Amino acid sequence: MMKKIIVSSFTILFTILMLIPVSVFAEEVTFGQFQDDLAKAEQELKANNQSINNSQNQINADNATIRKLKSEIEAMGVETQELQQQIAESNISIAERKQQTKDVVSYYQMSQGENVYLEYVFGGDSITDLVYRLSIVEQITEYNEKVMKELENLIQANEQRKVELANKEKEYENKINSLNAEIGKLTNSVSKLGELSPGLEQEVKTKRDLVEFYKSQGCKNRSDVIGRDCAVSSSNGQFSRPIKTGYITSFIGYRWGSLHRGLDMGSSLGRNTPLYSVGYGRITSIWNDRKDGKGANNINIEYRGRDGKYYTAIYAHLSRYANVYEGMQVTPNTVLGYMGDTGFATGVHLHLELWPCRLYVDKECKRWNDYVNFVNKQYKSGFKGAESVINFPNKTYQTWYTK
């Protein structure tokens, strides 16, 4: 009776599992997601270029303002010199007018008992001449006083104008300093944005190439699921080889009681062998493994395969890195670095691991030990990492000459 119940329960569970859509167990990746990724990258590039243009336009405007302010400062300097000249000339005119008044207005002398004024006034030949002379004295005196007052007012106005010009010149110089500081910040911003441009342009190109690739594989609708509705292919050949000319020195398998997770390969170029990305992906880590006391140069890259799965590739023992950085989008034409023997290695070679799991991201590979266990399970189930998704010769030291 108990056996029947157990069998019946298993049958029911199996039936339920068969009715659950496959997408529940495996993440479905649609063609639309790649299109969205491309659109987002294009928007980021456009925004970056627009920021560069806006900053450059502001720099040009600030420089134009600075040129205008400097021109006005120069004009104010000329005006200040002219004012100074006018003040000097006005002072001379005032001195001359004072002397004229002193000479003509001799009634001051009369009030002191002097007779110069009387001699001048009574030197006339008639009463009319006398009146005329008196009138002339008064007119000259009034005129000189008026002129001197005007000159004094002019001097005061010119001095005030000099102060205004000095203040305005200082204000303009402060504006120029502020604009220069703003230009410095904008220039620095343009420089940083310019540094981002090549990476953004490469990212757009990479994602555009990926969209075009999936189009060539029959993907048309946004809802098309990669690996099911389009881009359906066998597991082997999803990625390209990491070196143009090379040969396998050791396949994946158990060595000395543990699984050797990577595919080892060499090349006649030795340390000058450029290592390429095996597909379209993103560098997640550039690191140096010092656990063995020597320190191996490594690169981790995250890929999304044609089957819709995520893969992590580990390139190990590099002699040196190329011009790469974490977060960089890579293509099959991207050189990552060069073959080497850094770390625990018996010779110059590339150790390549490529397994369907995102290291330090996916639950199965959240930690290094989880990743090791995941790879072991994959290998035992028949999946052989890079050997299963890249076309390699099935014999060691059999040389290939193309990626």
Summarize the confidence of residues 368-376 as an average pLDDT.
95
**Structure-block tokens of residue 295:** 């320190």
pLDDT of residue 341: 92
**Structure-block tokens of residue 251:** 């396949």
pLDDT 10s digits, 276-317: 999 888 999 998 876 555 678 999 999 988 777 899 999 999
Query: Is the per-residue pLDDT at 342 higher than 50?
Result: yes
Query: Is the per-residue pLDDT at 334 higher than 80?
Result: yes
pLDDT of residue 88: 83
pTM (2 decimals)?
0.49
Q: Provide the terminal-to-terminal Cα distance of the chain, rounded to the nearest Å.
A: 62
Residue 104 or residue 379, greater confidence: 379
Among 40, 42, 36, CA closest to 201:
42
Neighbours of 266 (CB within 10 A): 21
pLDDT 10s digits, 3-20: 443 334 334 333 333 333
Residues shown for the chain: 403
pLDDT of residue 155: 80
Residue 195 or residue 363, greater confidence: 363
Query: Is the per-residue pLDDT at 356 higher than 60?
Result: yes
pLDDT 10s digits, 78-137: 888 888 888 888 778 777 777 766 666 555 444 444 444 555 555 555 556 555 566 666
pLDDT of residue 382: 93
pLDDT of residue 234: 43
Amino acid at 63: N
60 sits in which H/E element: helix 31-104
Is residue 39 helix, strand or coil?
helix
pLDDT of residue 137: 66
pLDDT of residue 252: 95
Summarize the confidence of residues 27-39 as an average pLDDT.
83
Domains and CATH numbers, the chain: 31-213 (1.10.287), 247-389 (2.70.70.10)
pLDDT of residue 396: 93
Query: Is the per-residue pLDDT at 358 higher than 50?
Result: yes
315 CB burial (10 A radius; 0-12, 13-18, 19+): buried
Query: Is the per-residue pLDDT at 253 higher than 60?
Result: yes
pLDDT of residue 232: 60
pLDDT of residue 11: 40
pLDDT 10s digits, 127-140: 565 555 666 667 77
Q: In the chain, how many H helices and how many E strands?
A: 7, 12
pLDDT of residue 46: 93
366 within 8 A of 288, measured Cβ to Cβ: no
pLDDT of residue 315: 97
Neighbours of 262 (CB within 10 A): 24
Least confident of 4-8, 163-167, 173-177: 4-8
Residue 25 or residue 57, greater confidence: 57
260 CB burial (10 A radius; 0-12, 13-18, 19+): middle
| Mean pLDDT of the residues in the chain | 81
Query: Is the per-residue pLDDT at 243 higher than 90?
Result: yes
Query: Is the per-residue pLDDT at 355 higher than 90?
Result: yes
C-alpha–C-alpha distance, residues 302 and 280, integer Å: 9
**Structure-block tokens of residue 183:** 């230009």
Write the DSSP assignment of 111-139 as a string of letters.
Answer: HTT--HHHHHHTT-SSHHHHHHHHHHHHH
pLDDT 10s digits, 195-229: 888 888 888 887 888 788 778 878 899 998 876 77
Least confident of 81-90, 172-181, 253-262, 376-385: 81-90
Give me the residue label for tokens 């040389």: 399
